[in-house]
Structure 1
Amino acid sequence: MQSTVMATFALKPGQCNGSCHLAIVLSQPIGKRPYRSWMCRRRQQYDVLRCRVTHQHPAGGLHDDPDEIDDRPRKNPPRFHPSIWGDFFLHYSNTVACSPHQQVRMAERADKLKEEVADMIERRSSGYSLLQRLHLIHVLQRLCLDHLFEDEINGSFTQIKSADLSGCDLQTVALWFYLLRNHGCRVSQDVFIKFKDEEGNFESNSSEDLLSLYNAAYLGTHGETILDDAVSFSKKCLETTMPHLDPEGLLAREITSALEIPLPRRVKIYELKHYISMYETEATVHETILELAKLNSNLMQLHHQRELKIITRWWKNIQLQSNLSFARDRIVECYFWMAGAYFEPCYSRARIILTQVMAIISIVDDIYDVYGTSEECELFTRCIESWDTKVGQDLPANLKIILECIFDTYKDIEHELETEQKYRLSYLKFVTIDWVRAYTTEVKWRDQRYVPATVEEHLQLSVRSGACHLLSCASFVGMGDIATRESFEWVSSMPEIVHSLCIILRLLDDPKSYEREQMALHVASTIDSCMKEHNMSMELALKKIKELTEESWKSLNEEWLKPNKAQPKELLERIFNLTRSMEFFYKQEDAYTNSCNIKDTVKSLFVDSYKVF
């Protein structure tokens, strides 16, 4: 008998505050039918082939003839460390919510707390200071609770936008500016003029003021010089202040995080547990909100664990079929990455589909970058272009199987869509073909040792080979009716916001992978093109690349803040969140390849639970 736990949170069908009733189905996979439907059929089909391939080619081999001398230039390919997680989520049982009864208790308690917090938002719309109202919304956002109160928060923003700021201090004005711009409202930078003196400095009374200004200013666009000045001034002051603060104190931890990645660019679900630990030590902590945050975290985690079991089983079968011992085994990290695009339970189908596409991107990336010969890559591209495995009869056995796994995965994704949504796969295939064509050109660049003369020339190709336009399109595929045919026409045409995402990924990734890629023949980096274009050293080129990254963020902010947006905010937010996730994965290093460095964050989000009763 199917056991279901439902926490409705007073949601209405069709919204995320709406389609996101937290349903945890304990015995059936999410979706219309099991996502592993084709896997079991194909596993038997390939058992014999897999044994033969494994015998012929020890781990890492791709060629039918192990003695064949090919043209692959990567004689010593990078050794990717094995998976940290393996099959962990196939067998993991959450001890905090190990019984349906316990889950029902959590869900019912969360429903009650949700009503109390909704009343709190309503009460604070009058009789409270502007800073108190702003702080409440800010806390709900950082605790990943805001999607439960969309109507109430949207109503508050209507009032807050027209608030009188004349007597407000810098912290209040900066938080007002940040929240509204983060919400998609383009309020004027001129609200900060009154805080600037004749020397261009900003008058502040505390480090909290400067931190608020610093975070707000990173939502700036091209030509907003007041915000540029605010970033420079507040950053310098915060860096000067840090040595005088308790490094374990809340303020020091917040400043450290902001200096690493400013708040508008951070993925809130990644730091949920960290912020909960900070919030419960604040003097202004509200126990009802804190309890709801912990319960909601547990309930979302159960949902995510359920999806991880599905996606791990899917990945394990692909590994068994294709002898994927040569690729980065990062399926849990793929899911973690894509949860940055949308963590809410209502996006379950979309999140699983996006994770599958991300995993395919990772496989194909390793084939083109590291393991495939030029001829194999070109033939692989022709197979994708024709969407026909028969074209690839001359491919090695492993690549044939990978190709069939890709096609079968796309078929399975299509099957999960409603009849009126199946057209979406034609757009996903179109962008996939465009992506692998860009890869093929990069392989030719690599073989010819070609270095594009300018960064702009490099980006004309590498914005497509980075696959972010494919992820953008894929992020819409599993969403509800808000994603229309017009939305897919738009996203597949590389609009400006997607273009900015693609540039940011490329300019963040290249500096982190540059040293590793120099160890073997690799396609030229934007760093190489920058050095060639400006006849400068690598150090100066890295500085220039960083400046270009900041300009691209401003372009993305520009699109986010347009009053007449090209598409609904719910769709644009997927692209904005994908960009934030790129900042997380590539700010310090390539955290996807070096996934040991995010182990604790993954564990915090998907394994560690709160004892709430």
Structure 2
Amino acid sequence: MQSGAMPCKCSCNEQEVEKSKDLVKQDLVNSVVNSEFEQTYGKKIEELKDKVKEMLVVAANDPVENISLINLLCRLGVSYHFQAEIEVQLNHIFESQHNLCGDNDYDLYTISILFRVLRQHGYKMSCGNVNRFKDSDGKLNENLVNYSKGILSLYEATYLRLHGEAILEEALAFSKAHLIKYLADENSCPHLAKQIINALELPLQKSIPRLEALKFISFYEQEESKSDTLLLFAKLDFNRLQLLHQQELSHLSRWDISALDDLPEYMKIIYRSLLNLFDEISNDVTEKERSYRVSYTKDTVKEMFTAYFVESQWSNQNYVPPFDEFYRNAFKSIGSFGYTASSFLGMGEEMVDIDAFEWLLATPKLLSAAFKLTRHKNNLTSHKFGEKRDHVACTVECYMKDYGLWMEEITEKFNLIFENAWKDINQECLKPTPVSMEILLRIVNLARAVEVTYKDGDGFTHPPHLKDAISTLFIDQMPI
């Protein structure tokens, strides 16, 4: 709602009453749906979970089989049920098999899976094993192109690369080129082609895990060697989680809009609502001796709103600041500390303590990389729209002013920044980590959400192209 809009015909109190009624109805519906689902499938899900746990025990005898199963559980979106078991098994494999790949004659697919899964879980696997697939001229062997499944596996693995890993840079260019050629071949397998198209649009490491799980379930269903137990478990678990998310979303829409008559000072409403939310959370966590979390988070949110105020002053004054000045403020206004600290609030004590907040406020490289990605992708895709209205200067304009670059040069510069940011993200998630992996993933997943949001344009300002993803994640149940 904007200033100058027509006043509401009903009073704010009446609106609140109607809104409360709607929320109550929705809660009742969700409760009934959840109850029916649990009665029908709850027991089956637990039975299947026990069977999958047995599969993990059996697979532990063979490192390749073990990691292949863990990869399936991750891609199907159900690995969170077995985090403790997976961590123990991967740690055992990494510690006991010092040269896991070098001591065995594994093919390209297997080498790539082992590398990717272990790196995704924080283990610094060597990329040197890719060198075995080079020919006498020191280039990746062209005969590999006949193994498209292996090429796809290699392509996904390259997105876990770090700074200085030249072989993975070469492998990325090699695998991407041959996957594109495969798609142009009229004799290509349609099933594999769909997976390749999905990976080329956005690789696994850069995509939202729940969204990838949804896609992979449909891919896995077409596999001849699929496990019916895993497939059914993944489908039922997806639907149960979706119902839980629906219920959470209905609660999150309990916001206070009684101050509508105060517009256009809408920022006050947002600010007041956030502070009220923190007060509610504080009442809950005080009993659990975690009230320090609210204090830290509230301070970071206040800092974010202060940064908003600075940007509004720049906009009113038509001021284009030097890039460094802009970025220092933009790092706060984009929510680097505020959003991240907020995501820590409800986490268990075993994952988050006061040291985690101190780590966050020290501006770790992981945070800098993720939010550098966020700010630059946002500005690169939205600056043309911003130029059509009153707006604060963005990184694109500041770059133009400071360095005299054209748009094509800025785009090239930013793409290099994005690549380096992901290398920093990958590096900072390798063990030993200063905080728990669960905390790190909060930041990594935000970077992934940014990749999805801005993949096909400015999905933050104009989100229609995200409609299908939102519907499939939160509305459309998966057929059993």
Q: Report the TM range for the smaller structure's normalisation.
A: 0.7 to 0.9
Partner residue in 2 for 1:258: 199
1:148 to 75, 81, 84: 81
Shift of 1:566: 1.1
Per the alignment, in what secondary structure is the counterpart of residue 256 of structure 1? helix
Per the alignment, in what secondary structure is the counterpart of residue 271 of structure 1? helix
Shift of 1:183: 0.4
Partner residue in 2 for 1:70: none
Paired residues of 1:171 and 1:213 also in contact (CA < 8 A) = yes
Is 1:214 aligned to residue 155 of structure 2? Answer: yes
Is 1:137 aligned to residue 70 of structure 2? Answer: yes
Q: What TM-score results when the alignment is normalised by the length of structure 2?
A: 0.87
Q: Structure 1's 262 and 129: CA in aligned 2 closer, same or farther, altered over 3 A?
A: same
Partner residue in 2 for 1:200: 139
Is 1:112 aligned to residue 29 of structure 2? Answer: no
Tell me the distance in 2 between the aligned counterparts of 1:536 and 1:99: 56
Larger mean CA deviation between 441-450 and 564-573 belongs to: 441-450
1:574 to 417, 422, 442: 442
Partner residue in 2 for 1:381: none
2:245 to 286, 304, 317: 304
Q: Structure 1's 577 and 401: CA in aligned 2 closer, same or farther, altered over 3 A?
A: closer
Partner residue in 2 for 1:421: 290
1:564 to 429, 432, 436: 432
RMSD: 2.8
Paired residues of 1:438 and 1:461 also in contact (CA < 8 A) = yes
Shift of 1:593: 2.7
Per the alignment, in what secondary structure is the counterpart of residue 423 of structure 1? helix
Is 1:526 aligned to residue 361 of structure 2? Answer: no
Per the alignment, in what secondary structure is the counterpart of residue 547 of structure 1? helix
Partner residue in 1 for 2:309: 440
Residue deviations 1:432-459 (CA, integer Å, cap 9, x gap): 12212222332333334333444x5542
Residue deviations 1:252-289 (CA, integer Å, cap 9, x gap): 22222222211111111123332211111111210001
Shift of 1:89: 10
Partner residue in 2 for 1:459: 327
Q: What TM-score results when the alignment is normalised by the length of structure 1?
A: 0.69
Shift of 1:99: 6.9
Say which structure, 1 or 2, has more relative contact order (CA 8 Å, 6+ apart).
1
Shift of 1:401: 4.3
Shift of 1:93: 7.9
Per the alignment, in what secondary structure is the counterpart of residue 319 of structure 1? coil
Tell me the distance in 1 between the aligned counterparts of 2:333 and 2:377: 14
Is 1:587 aligned to residue 458 of structure 2? Answer: no
| Runs of at least 5 residues in structure 1 that lack an aligned partner in the other structure | 1-52, 62-86, 327-370, 372-395
Shift of 1:595: 2.5
Shift of 1:88: 9.4
Tell me the distance in 2 between the aligned counterparts of 1:535 and 1:190: 41
Q: Which amino acid aligns with 1:501?
A: A
Tell me the distance in 1 between the aligned counterparts of 2:155 and 2:386: 35
Partner residue in 1 for 2:232: 291
Larger mean CA deviation between 232-241 and 527-536 belongs to: 527-536
Shift of 1:427: 0.7
Paired residues of 1:512 and 1:588 also in contact (CA < 8 A) = no
Tell me the distance in 2 between the aligned counterparts of 1:146 and 1:559: 22
Q: Which amino acid aligns with 1:515?
A: K
1:272 to 198, 209, 213: 213
Residue deviations 1:563-607 (CA, integer Å, cap 9, x gap): 321111121111111111111112222223323222222221222
Residue deviations 1:273-328 (CA, integer Å, cap 9, x gap): 3221111111121000111111111211221121112112x13xx3354369x8xx
Shift of 1:247: 8.4
Residue deviations 1:495-520 (CA, integer Å, cap 9, x gap): 21111111010111112111110101
Shift of 1:399: 5.0
Partner residue in 2 for 1:515: 384
Per the alignment, in what secondary structure is the counterpart of residue 209 of structure 2? coil
| Runs of at least 5 residues in structure 2 that lack an aligned partner in the other structure | 9-21
* More helix as a share of residues: 2
Paired residues of 1:97 and 1:103 also in contact (CA < 8 A) = no
Paired residues of 2:456 and 2:465 also in contact (CA < 8 A) = no
Partner residue in 1 for 2:113: 175
Tell me the distance in 1 between the aligned counterparts of 2:234 and 2:44: 12
The total of aligned residue pairs comes to 457
Paired residues of 1:207 and 1:238 also in contact (CA < 8 A) = yes
Paired residues of 1:473 and 1:492 also in contact (CA < 8 A) = no
Paired residues of 1:322 and 1:399 also in contact (CA < 8 A) = no
Paired residues of 2:376 and 2:395 also in contact (CA < 8 A) = yes
Partner residue in 2 for 1:548: 417
Percent of aligned positions that are identical: 30
Shift of 1:174: 0.9
Shift of 1:523: 1.8
Paired residues of 2:301 and 2:337 also in contact (CA < 8 A) = no
